[in-house]
Homo-oligomer: A and B are copies of this chain.
Amino acid sequence: MATADDPTTTLGLLWDGPSRPRRGPRHHLTVDALVGAALEIAEQEGVDALSMRGLAARLGVGAATLYTYVPDKSALIALMVDTMIGEAPLPHTRPGDWRERVEAWARENLRAYREHPWLVRLMGAAQPVGPHAFAWTDSALRVFDGTGLTGHEALTVVEAVDGYTRGHVAKAVEADRAARWTTPDGRTWDTVQDAFLEAHAEPGRYPAIERLTGAPGTEEVFEAGLAWLLDGVAQGIRERAAG
């Protein structure tokens, strides 16, 4: 198989699927089987445990065999990501007006990312656009049909909301992991950190933080920010309709 380092091969795999050669012995596995097993590993053991050797072992083949299905690990990851995107419901098929649909999709994405935290890390690297990602964006754009926004404006809104969601997801995933962490003797992350800060921040050094009576949860921040963002968008749509 062609050596990559060049995402063209990966794009071909994403959009065309594997190319069946004319000569030579048959494959015993399929690319889908690789991706499925890789997703299982990521889901069960986390993304750090996803190695080519481990994946090969799970499938009962030698490590080098995988390279006849996939040019390299990054291509496998691109396939995993696009597969996950394919499981997201298409925004334009949801009920309600544009705002209800946007809220639903943003919450759904947040939920999906938090349920599959490994996705957040894998999406960090630049990804070639796969068919499912493309279809999702198309669907998201259609949510704004009838609002009077141009395609360009609709895409701006989609990207803004998506960016907002992704940023929160990164923070939420960190918070989730910290919440699950404990010292060997059972103290939580918050306990350790708070004790540390209390011992080290002399009074008056951080006046605004001292005045705080409690931090908002990630859910609360997400909902508030989403509401503000969509208030702004709604106002833009109203002004355009009036002008």
Residues in A lying within 8 Å of B, measured CB to CB: 6-8, 11, 15-16, 120-121, 123-129, 131, 134-135, 137-139, 141-142, 145, 151-152, 154-157, 159-171, 174, 177-178, 183-184, 189, 192-193, 196-197, 200-201, 205-209, 211-216, 220-222, 224-225, 227-233, 235-236
Q: When the two chains form their complex, are residues B164 and A225 in contact, meaning their CB atoms are under 8 A apart?
A: yes
Contact of A124 among B7, B170, B224 (CB under 8 A): B170
Q: How far is the CA of A212 from the CA of B155 in the complex (A)?
A: 9
Which residues of B have CB within 8 Å of A131?
A: 200
What's the minimum C-beta distance from A217 to chain B, rounded to whole angstroms? Answer: 10
Q: How many copies does the complex hold?
A: 2
| Chain B contacts for A121, CB-based, 8 A | 124
A211: chain B residues within 8 A (beta carbon): 151
Given contacts A11-B196, A167-B167, 5 further A-B contacts (CB under 8 A): A127-B174, A142-B208, A163-B221, A228-B232, A230-B232
Within 8 Å CB of A151, what residues of B? 208, 211-213
- Residues in chain B near residue A201, CB distance under 8 A: 134
* A161, B224: Cα distance in complex, Å: 11
A193 with B124: CB separation less than 8 A: no
Residues of B within 8 A of A167 (CB): 162-170
Cβ–Cβ < 8 Å partners of A169 in chain B? 167
User: Given A156-B220, A170-B124, are A16 and B231 also a contact pair (CB < 8 Å)?
Assistant: no
CB distance from A117 to the nearest CB of B (A): 11
| Known contacts A163-B164, A197-B134, A209-B137; A216 and B156 CB within 8 A of each other | yes
Given contacts A155-B215, A160-B225, A221-B160, contact A178 B231 (CB under 8 A): no
Q: How far is the CA of A121 from the CA of B211 in the complex (A)?
A: 32
